[in-house]
Amino acid sequence: MKKYVLASKNKHKADEIKEILGENFEIQTMDEAGIGNLEIIEDGSTFEENAEKKAIEVFKATGLPTIADDSGLCVDALSGKPGIFTARFAGENATDDENIDKLLLEMSEVNEENRTAKFVCVIAVIDKNISENTQFFRGECNGYITKKRAGTSGFGYDPIFYYPEKQCTLSELGSNEKNKISHRYKALKKFAESI
C-alpha cells in the first residue's frame, strides 16, 4: 500500500480523493499528519504552480510522500475565470453558495450556447525529495454552466455544472457517479497508473 500526505485541509476534497484512489493508497490529511496548522499561501498564477507549492510545503513539513491538488472552474465566457480563484471567487472566505451566486450574476446575460466551461484538476506529487522533479497529472471535465442550481450532492460549483453526457449537473449525479467522470478522477487515474 502506497502512503501519501494530502496537501489539503478541504475535507470534501480529501474524502473524494480517498474514494477515487481506493484501497491501494493510504491518504493522510494534513491534520492526520500533525500539520493541520500549516498555512500555505496559494499565490501561483497557474494550477500547476499552486499544486506544486502545496506539495513542496507539506513535504518539507513531513518528509513524507505528498500529493497536492489544485483545481478550479474555467468559464469560457468569462475568459477562464474564476480559474485559480475558484474557491474564493466571491471573496477570501466565501461559501460555495456565495461563489455560485457571484458566478450566476456575472453570467446572467450569457446565452445558452456560450455557457461552456471546464473543471480542471492538477495533481502534483513529490515522492522522495524536493530536488527531484515534481510529477504533474492533469484532468479536465467539460460542460456548461446552468442558470440555476440543481441537485443536492457534491460541493463547490457542482449544482450549476451541467455534464452533457449524463444530461444533468454533477450535483444530480451523486458522488459515486461523479467520481467516475470528474476532472479529479481523470488526474488521479493518471497518477495511480504511473505507479
- The conformation of residue 82, written as its DSSP 8-state character, comes to B
pTM (predicted TM-score) = 0.91
Task: Please say if the pLDDT value at position 9 is more than 90.
Answer: no
Determine whether 31 is an active site residue.
no
Binding residues for Mg(2+): 70
Q: What's the pLDDT score for residue 157?
A: 97
Cell 489539503 belongs to residue: 8
Per-residue pLDDT, averaged over 94-115, amounts to 97
Q: How sure is the predictor about 10, in pLDDT bands with cuts at 50, 70 and 90? A: confident
User: Residue 148 is part of a domain; what is its CATH number?
Assistant: 3.90.950.10
pLDDT, one tens digit per residue, over 150-187 is: 999 888 999 999 999 999 999 999 888 988 999 999 99
- Residue pair 156/182 in contact by the 8 Å Cβ criterion: no
Domain containing 86: what range? Answer: 2-194
Known binding positions: 8-13, 70-71, 155-158, 178, 183-184
Q: Which residues are annotated as a binding site for substrate?
A: 8-13, 71, 155-158, 178, 183-184
Q: Exactly one of 70, 96, 101, 127 is catalytic; which is it?
A: 70
Q: What domain count does the chain have?
A: 1
pLDDT in tens, 44-54: 999 999 999 99
SS3 169: strand
Cell 480559474 sits at which residue?
83
Tell me the pLDDT tens digit for each residue of 69-100: 999 999 999 999 999 999 999 999 999 999 99
